[in-house]
Amino acid sequence: MSSVGNEPEIWKRSRVLVTGGAGFLGSALVWALNRRGCSDIVIADFPPTEIKSRALAALSYSAYLDPEVLLGQLQSGALGKFDFVFHLGACSSTLEMDVDYLRRINFEYTRDLAIWALKAGVRFVYASSAATYGDGSEGMSDADPRDLERLRPLNPYAWSKHQLDLHAWREGWFEHIVGLKYFNVFGPNEGHKGEMRSVVHRSYQQVMESGVIRLFKSYRPEYKDGEQKRDFLYVKDAVEMTLSLAANPSANGIFNVGSGHAHSWNELASAVFLALGREPRIEYIEMPEAIREKYQYFTQAEIGRLRGAGYARPITPLAEAVRDYVVNYLMTGQPLSGA
């Protein structure tokens, strides 16, 4: 495998497997690969919905198959050889309470796919989540994988992701594979996600319907309403980071994928209004009791390891990212497209 300095050339000659390739991050990754001249891409995902089909129609890939048959075909050799596996398929709902289901989908499937990739000598990159950091009391640093032992995620989804991170660490896999803790990623191709859509997407819809954006009230005195903060990252930046780390053979282990800066919900809402040329109108609503005790009030990625691994691109400022998303995708109804 070549070094990260030759990254564009790597993808032109690579065969790539993307699980969850019809989803939000997955389809954005396929788009970014297409822009690098890579179309020898096998997508593993469930039959696409109408929204996902529109996103897929704008992309170039060589095959599409059901994830339930993927492992068997990989193990039998029926799918041939791959250079990279991006495992982005998962149950991403923070509201999912079926622990057994989450264990099967987010832990066991990922574990088995990683075992195959390690045996086959294929570069393996999988999606973890910033939700694994819990309330943030143990910090949000990816510098030392031993810190994983201290983290206490706040919901079953986050626990399922955390268990895979722990397993990979304990098995010594982080000498060879990459786990990416994505922070609050937003952008084109997320319209199918329902309640898991980003606040940008939901806010745009609220403005179009009522002219008002509704945000949760704060239930902690140190945070005013709407001043809860997140590390928001544009999906175009997220996939650039993902491909850069994948192409660097010395970049292994856990990496945060974020902007490195926390912004409030109020700032995010104001950016949506600015993109639409409207004066801000924000209302604060009650947070459902079921999530009040498990709500993250602050996230901010430490991205020193990402930068140290050679990722030197500037990160799109929040207002600029929101404007691109709103004006070029939400207002037009277009998915990511074009090489």
pLDDT tens digits along 91-109: 878 878 889 989 998 999 9
Q: Is 217 known to be catalytic?
A: no
End-to-end, the C-alpha distance of the chain in Å comes to 24
C-alpha distances in Å from residue 128, one per residue of 44, 86, 107, 158, 180: 18, 12, 10, 9, 5
Secondary structure E strands in 178-261: 178-182, 184-186, 213-216, 229-230, 232-234, 253-257
- Of the residues 64, 193, 294, 295, only one is catalytic, namely 193
Both tokens assigned to 239: 């996939």
Q: Is 236 known to be catalytic?
A: no
- Please give the pLDDT value at position 3: 41
Q: How far apart are CA 257 and CA 313, in angstroms?
A: 13
Both tokens assigned to 55: 């996103």
With a cut of 50, list the residues of the chain below it in pLDDT: 1-4
- Please give the pLDDT value at position 253: 97
Q: Where are the domains of the chain?
A: 4-187+232-260+301-313
Fold classified for 4-187+232-260+301-313: Rossmann fold (3.40.50)
- Of the residues 61, 126, 133, 157, only one is catalytic, namely 157
- Please give the pLDDT value at position 339: 59
- Please give the pLDDT value at position 293: 86
